[in-house]
């Protein structure tokens, strides 16, 4: 038998700030990945893309 959710959990689900946690992101590395079709890149191109992504996430 399943436990009912606590009232605090239900209240958090309606919190608009909490929804932003999983909302769209504008990070350059994620934008690059969204545009990428892994079936259309060679192994060498994939390696170059990985290096490019690594540069984008480093501080």
What is the domain extent for residue 54?
A: 25-59
Q: Is residue 34 part of a domain?
A: yes
Q: Is residue 4 one of the residues assigned to a domain?
A: no
Report the number of distinct structural domains present in the chain. Answer: 1
Asked if residue 11 is part of any domain, the answer here is no
- Examine residue 33 and state whether it is found in any structural domain, yes or no: yes
Q: Indicate whether 29 pLDDT > 90.
A: no
46 in any annotated domain? yes
What is the pLDDT confidence band of residue 54, given thresholds at 50, 70 and 90? very high
As a whole number of Å, the CA-based R_g of the chain is: 19
CA 15 to chain CA centroid, nearest Å:
20
User: Looking at the predicted structure, is the pLDDT value of residue 44 above 90?
Assistant: yes
Tokens of 41: 């890149």
Record the pTM: 0.50
């Amino acid at each position: 038998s399943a436990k009912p959710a606590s009232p605090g959990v239900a209240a958090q689900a309606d919190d608009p700030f909490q929804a932003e946690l999983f909302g769209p992101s504008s990070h350059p590395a994620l934008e690059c990945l969204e545009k990428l079709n892994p079936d259309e890149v060679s192994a060498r191109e994939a390696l170059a893309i990985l290096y490019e992504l690594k540069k984008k996430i480093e501080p």
